[in-house]
Every structure is written in structure tokens, then in C-alpha cells.
């Protein structure tokens, strides 16, 4: 998904480009994912001009990332390790907090 957020950033910056990155070891991919997400978020939160439409960014790289997240959730369930349901309306979500350190889950749906 790091490639998706790199792509989203390139669109937002007005120079759309896709790059197929070579897969890294798991821990390095986790670091890369959060780094690419942070760069994308930093640009969107900045005063820099947005060269791609918000609709295009959402229906392209962001929606594609959400699709992959759903695939991972489905594979976990099939493997016997489902992700517990969480009430995201009640969750402690904060703009700009995109790293691995997140608020504790709010699992009202257990």
C-alpha cells in the first residue's frame, strides 16, 4: 500500500507517477507504509496547492488502499484470526495521527 500513497502524493503534487517498489522484509514494509502515509497526510494538510481533485484522490489511491485493507481483514477471518469489530464513530481518531501509535480500540460491538 506504500506505492498507493506514493502515487496519491504524486497526484496531489501535480506529477502523477506510479512506481512498483520491490517488496521489503515485513518490518521494513511496516515502516515504509507509515512513512508514505505520513508524507501524503503532511502534503494534504499543508498550504501547498492540491493538483489532483479530492474526488480523484479518494476514488483512486485512497479507495484502492481501503480495498486492500478489506482483503487483509477477510484473509484474517478465513485464517481464524478475525479483526474484532470496532465503533469508528466513537474511536479516538485524530487528524495527523497516522503512525503506528494509535488510541486504544473502542470495541462496543463485541
How many structural domains comprise the chain?
A: 1
100 within a domain of the structure (yes/no): no
The rounded distance, in Å, linking the Cα atoms of 8 and 4 is 6
pLDDT digits (tens, 9 = 90+) for 49-100: 999 899 999 999 999 999 999 999 999 999 999 988 888 888 888 888 999 9
Give pLDDT, residue 92: 87
Residues in the chain: 110
97 within a domain of the structure (yes/no): no
44 within a domain of the structure (yes/no): yes
Are the beta carbons of 5 and 40 closer than 8 angstroms?
A: yes
Tell me what percent of the residues of the chain surpass a pLDDT of 90: 75
Give pLDDT, residue 104: 86
CA 95 vs CA 19, 24, 64, 98: distances in Å: 27, 28, 20, 8
106 within a domain of the structure (yes/no): no
- 17 contact partners, CB below 8 Å, separation of at least 6: 7, 10
60 within a domain of the structure (yes/no): yes
Mean pLDDT for all residues in the chain? 93
Amino acid at each position: 500500500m506504500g506505492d498507493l500513497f506514493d502515487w496519491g502524493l504524486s497526484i496531489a503534487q501535480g506529477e502523477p507517477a506510479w512506481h512498483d517498489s520491490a517488496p521489503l522484509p515485513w518490518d521494513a514494509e511496516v515502516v515504509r507504509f507509515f512513512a508514505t502515509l505520513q508524507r501524503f497526510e503532511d502534503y494534504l494538510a499543508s498550504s501547498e496547492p492540491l493538483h489532483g481533485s479530492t474526488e480523484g484522490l479518494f476514488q483512486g489511491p485512497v479507495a484502492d488502499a481501503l480495498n486492500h485493507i478489506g482483503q487483509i481483514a477477510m484473509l484474517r477471518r478465513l485464517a481464524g484470526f478475525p479483526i474484532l469489530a470496532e465503533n469508528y464513530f466513537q474511536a479516538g481518531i485524530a487528524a495527523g495521527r497516522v503512525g503506528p501509535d494509535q488510541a486504544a480500540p473502542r470495541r462496543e460491538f463485541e
